[in-house]
Amino acid sequence: MKRPLITTVVFDLDDTLYDCHRQRVLAAHRHAARALLRAGLNRHAKRKLPLARLVRLRLRLFREERNLETLDARLVARLGLRGRVAARLARAGNRAYFSYPVQRLHLFADARPTLRQLHRQGVRIYVLTAGLLRIQRAKVRVLGLDCSPYISGVFFTGLLQGRGKRRYLKRALGRGPDPRRVLVVGDRADSEIRAARELGMWAVRRLGGEFADYAPHHRLERPHFSLRRLSQLFRLPFQFGARG
């Protein structure tokens, strides 16, 4: 059986090309927790929490409801705080999380070799990322992806997540109209994986990172293939190359 030809590969950024969860997310939560303690959280809260327990509480509340904008308000409410003090502390935590500097990020060890090999085979490569624009642009710059000779373009969707990713994946189709020649690699089953499948593209999920335990809730959230290392892409039943 002839292997499907893939002429375009679109990579998600966070937890796909680099370990965002360990390199950035956990550090940003610790940074926000320290800011809450400096702002006087333990002076006002009914429960006094050391830094490590406060970080665990933040992570648990985020898993319960994945909304960073309301996370600190929910956290101080969980600790029994209300009114102006609660609002002030919530602002301090939120501001600290979103102001955590983007620095010293490193691609997965096999990310650059994978990009290089795809490029040499004539594949057009794009990177797709959702989140605050200033932060996502800084990540791309620090990782050196903005000047990579292997990447044809980077799509920034803002905070639209799956909806924005679907729109930008259509742009990748504009470079090659057959969706079955486009392969999307990402870690989010409910975001880029579903967007790719809705558009009739191939979807490969990288297992790992912050959303590793997420179980698909819809048939379109199920990828065609899964992998743990990007280099395993070349073991999948595809032929990578430019259109003949």
Q: Whole-angstrom Cα distance, residue 9 to residue 11?
A: 6
- Same-domain pairing of 13 and 121: yes
Q: What is the distance of C-alpha 207 from the center of its chain?
A: 12
- Same-domain pairing of 36 and 132: no
Question: What are the pLDDT digits (tens) for 191-214?
Answer: 999 999 999 999 999 999 888 888
Mean pLDDT (whole number) for 57-67 = 92
Contact 99, 129 (CB under 8 A): no
Mean pLDDT (whole number) for 131-156 = 95
- Same-domain pairing of 91 and 110: no
Q: What is the percent of the chain where pLDDT is above 90?
A: 79
- pLDDT (0 to 100) of residue 164: 66
- Same-domain pairing of 190 and 120: yes
- Check pLDDT > 60 for residue 51: yes
Choose between 159 and 227: higher pLDDT: 227
In a 3-state reduction of DSSP, which class is residue 127? strand
Choose between 86 and 174: higher pLDDT: 86
Reported confidence tier of residue 25, pLDDT bands at 50, 70, 90: very high
- Same-domain pairing of 113 and 43: no
- pLDDT (0 to 100) of residue 168: 80
CATH number at residue 210: 3.40.50.1000
Q: In whole angstroms, how far apart are CA 102 and each of 127, 139, 146, 180?
A: 18, 6, 15, 36
Write down which residue in 46, 81, 99 finishes a domain.
Answer: 99
Mean pLDDT (whole number) for 43-55 = 93
Mean pLDDT (whole number) for 157-167 = 68
Q: Whole-angstrom Cα distance, residue 217 to residue 231?
A: 28
- Same-domain pairing of 72 and 189: no
Among 163-167, 176-180, 216-220, name the one with the lowest average pLDDT: 163-167
- Check pLDDT > 90 for residue 165: no
Reported confidence tier of residue 159, pLDDT bands at 50, 70, 90: low
Total domain count, the chain: 2
- pLDDT (0 to 100) of residue 175: 61
Mean pLDDT (whole number) for 151-155 = 94
- Same-domain pairing of 217 and 235: yes
Question: What are the pLDDT digits (tens) for 70-111?
Answer: 999 999 999 999 999 999 999 999 999 999 999 999 999 999
Supply the range of the domain harboring residue 162.
5-18+106-240
- Same-domain pairing of 158 and 224: yes
Write down which residue in 99, 121, 143 finishes a domain.
Answer: 99
- Same-domain pairing of 95 and 212: no
- Same-domain pairing of 174 and 200: yes
Q: What is the percent of the chain where pLDDT is above 70?
A: 95
Write down which residue in 99, 119, 134 finishes a domain.
Answer: 99
Rounded to the nearest 10 degrees, how much is the dihedral formed by the CA atoms of 43, 46, 50, 53? -150
- Check pLDDT > 60 for residue 244: no
In a 3-state reduction of DSSP, which class is residue 195? helix
- Same-domain pairing of 34 and 95: yes
pLDDT averaged over every residue in the chain = 92
- Check pLDDT > 70 for residue 229: yes
- Same-domain pairing of 130 and 118: yes
